[in-house]
Structure 1
Amino acid sequence: MMMHPRRLACMLALLSLAGCGARGDPTEGKSPEQLRREIEAVATPAPLPENKPPPFRLRALKVGEVRDYVADRRACLLVYRDRIVFAAVGAEGIARIDGRLVRLAAGGPVSTTGGFFTAEGATMSIGRPGQFAGAAEAYVPGWRVEVAVGGAKEILPQRFEAKWTCRERFAPGEVRPIS
């Protein structure tokens, strides 16, 4: 059975009017202070969470740790803000990641141009941008490299620039930040 359009419009108007004023006065019986708090509660937006970047995952290695690790071996050091944050010897390296000393295995060749290293919960990619220097690299104390530290499940990889230096042998006095 179909209803006449006028009749339908009248019924809808009556139903909507029936809901008006059914609740009474919402301010009735409330003090001005209560009303002010209720209004502020709905008028003041909740503060947005701060989008702070996660803490920097790498920490400086202690000079003694590095000196013992690279002693009398071909090694590479990664220096960030005048601190040694990674040392590589052969197919492995050490870094202080998320507050703990971690051994990372090389995932490919390690050279004066960089390398890729992995450990449980951590990856480190070190690479020199630009062209290869050839024989000139023996005369340069360190190269600017781009570094990405990743591998954490809930943190995006952190990218930064640092200095990468490889030598046949670091003398004990050379195991320090290289400027």
Structure 2
Amino acid sequence: MTVLGDDGLRRPPWAANDDLMRTYYDTEWGMPVRDERGLFERLSLEVFQSGLSWATILRKRRSFRDAFADFDPDTVAAYDHRDVARLMADARIVRNHRKIEATIQNARATIALRDDGGLADLIWSFQPAETPRPRTYDEVPTTSPESHALAKELKRRGFAHVGPTTMFALMEAVGIVDTHLLDSHRRGTSGVWPD
């Protein structure tokens, strides 16, 4: 169930009390992202979020942008062992060697996709024919056949740390699926899925 806010709007519990999470939910989560850099950023942040709370990542987002050159794939793809060492010493971000290496690898894979339609075309090609219609938080799926297929294709294309759960979270975040609860004020607002 959603929570009725002081402003008269209904949101899921995770977006009801924290100002940062509420703003993210109200203005960004589930809205279409169709550009390479925007998708590379969201993909990278989902990789770092794996095993952690989204609030942790969101609070560090400005630092992640600084550390990863505003998620410019060309710049990140050129990172070497010195950059990895610099990032591992940067207490402002999540210092996980595997996730840092995966982000660099994913930047290189993003560049390689440019000759074959690009990252945005690939990710959006996995949009399902229908989107979930959850009434309660328990009805929100964590994977889908499309997120499994997307994860498999991205791995085939050289991406790392892109499992089906992480890819479903990406699909939710960038509007490919609409998992807003049916009574949320955000349901159907992306323009991708009618309510």
Alignment TM-score, normalising by the size of structure 2: 0.25
Highest Rg: 1 or 2? 1
Whose helix proportion is higher, 1 or 2? 2
